[in-house]
Structure 1
Amino acid sequence: MSLVAGRGPLSTDPAGWFTPPLPEVVYVEPHPRRVQGLRDGRAVIDTERVLLVHRPGHPLSYAFPADQVGDLPHEPVSEAPGFVRVPWDAVDTWLEEGRRLVHYPPNPYHRVDCRPTNRRLRVTVADTTLVDTADTVVVFETAVQTRLYVDPVHVRTDLLQRSDTTSYCNYKGYATYWSAVIGGEVVDDVAWSYDDPPPETLPIKGFFSFDTERADVAAELPEPDR
């Protein structure tokens, strides 16, 4: 996602600019990692000859040598003769070097930096303050909005209850969502946290971040330079 989506350099809304401007391009590169596709517990793809295809307006995708996909559905990749794309749902499970993937391949250009900071975060719901602290962690994530996370010791967790909502990020893991229960009012999914993030995002393990559309969030964040 980082090169061609969000505000990546090859997206339709890049954070920066090229001089002179670039035409729309598709970027294809070798990806020297072992990728496996499992169906019914059996590997139907198992190869280290993998390409990554960064195509504007499309999710990042793998391309495999045509002779290694067997009878799986596939379509040719015009920018990489002899290679084909296999739909993500053509197999039950994708693995990259043993790590289970969800939704899309991890992007080598996607970076997540978690930094302790004194940027203030104040969150209110239904005129009740849930957070008001400058002891936060700022998370800079490539092509994604910068966010503040906060240790639960600074959160009115007595006013939060776990919801049934969940989501997955290849860079932060499975998210647990939390609803605010204040008096007789319930505001669904005002916050989320990651209980078991991968090593690169361990600094925010168990920390909360808040949805700016569901709560009144005042976060001291860098101003985007348009």
Structure 2
Amino acid sequence: MAVQMSTQLMKVVGVLRYEPIAKRIRGLVGGEVVVDSTGALLVWEPRRVVPSYAVPGGDVLGELVPAHTTEVSGRPVRLAPGWPSVYDPSTAFALHTAEGEALTLRSGDGELEGAAFRPADPDLSQYVVLDFDAIDTWLEEDEEVVAHPRDPFHRVDVRRSSRYVRIQRDGQLLAESKRPNLVFETALPVRSYLPPEDVRLDLLEPSPTRTACPYKGQASYLSFPPEAPDIAWMYERPLPDAVQLTGLVAFFDEHVDVTVDGEARVRPVSLWS
């Protein structure tokens, strides 16, 4: 019997997972290298949807001592009916869903409390999982990585299209275009990135919100006041792999009404619903 791949992958989201990577991984704090490894892994703790870097303990250039951690809560999110609830990237690293020991990393610039975790699992017990956000700069080879490590099983495909896309909110037309760039990203809704000339920018206001994506770069946001803050976003200087998206505007389909070639789409359920 045939199986749907996304369903199969979600069946293992509740277990501790890892994948070796061939890239040299370095982490810097205050300009000082505190992690340098050519034997790194990507590790997903149970119910986590994005990975963390893990390196052999000897590749951490500092002292690792038991952490004085406090209890951390996180709000699990259900991505789709029938799928298990998961923790999104905003959930603090200190919320561990695998057995193991939380560690503090001491280096020349001080202590990074709870920034490391040694899993109890025998396959990973010689490795230390690291808090991406606790390190100032991460490098894969000589290129900086932002937001979180890239997932080798995650794709982002940008395709030019001639589909006719209309976007409304509460009956107000916000955008319409016959020249969208469609972004097909693993496990996420299809996103329509539209030329700014095809968007009612006069109805939108700039927002101070900024987010980062390891595949696309830093995004700035637009709001539809007063009831729809941060309803749209754009990448003014995207990463090289997403240069086609420069200056284009995308909307959260979860919060607008989208019609494609005259067919209304159901608002998707996702981490941003």
TM-score bin (small chain): 0.7 to 0.9
Q: Deviations over 1:48-84 (max 9, x none)?
A: 1211223441231221111121314333232224222
Q: Give the partner amino acid of 1:30.
A: P
CA offset at residue 134 of structure 1?
2.5
Question: Is the alpha carbon distance of 1:41 and 1:153 closer, same or farther for their aligned partners in structure 2, counting shifts above 3 Å?
Answer: same
* Residue of 10, 17, 27 corresponding to 1:37: 27
Structure 2: segments with no counterpart, 5+ residues: 1-5, 65-103, 105-115, 269-273
Q: Distance in 2 between matches of 1:208 and 1:47?
A: 38
Please say if 1:216 is aligned against 2:257: yes
Residue 82 (structure 2) aligns with: none
* 8 Å Cα contact 2:13/2:47 also seen in 1: no
* Residue of 247, 258, 261 corresponding to 1:206: 247
Q: Distance in 2 between matches of 1:169 and 1:123?
A: 24
For this pair of structures, how many residues does the alignment match?
Answer: 206
Report the more deviating stretch, 124-133 or 139-148: 124-133
Q: Distance in 1 between matches of 2:126 and 2:152?
A: 23
Q: Deviations over 1:163-209 (max 9, x none)?
A: 1111111111111111236xxx5742221111111122122211111
* 8 Å Cα contact 2:43/2:129 also seen in 1: no
What pairs up with 1:18-33 in 2 under 5 angstroms?
Answer: 25-33=15-23
* 8 Å Cα contact 1:10/1:56 also seen in 2: no
Structure 1: segments with no counterpart, 5+ residues: 1-6, 13-21
Residue 156 (structure 2) aligns with: 112
Q: TM-score, structure 2 length as denominator?
A: 0.66
* Residue of 60, 68, 86 corresponding to 2:59: 68
Q: Give the partner amino acid of 1:60.
A: P
Q: Deviations over 1:74-131 (max 9, x none)?
A: 3323222422212334432222223333342111221111111122211224543221
Q: Give the partner amino acid of 2:160.
A: P
Q: Distance in 2 between matches of 1:200 and 1:86?
A: 26
Question: Is the alpha carbon distance of 1:151 and 1:23 closer, same or farther for their aligned partners in structure 2, counting shifts above 3 Å?
Answer: closer
Residue 83 (structure 1) aligns with: 127
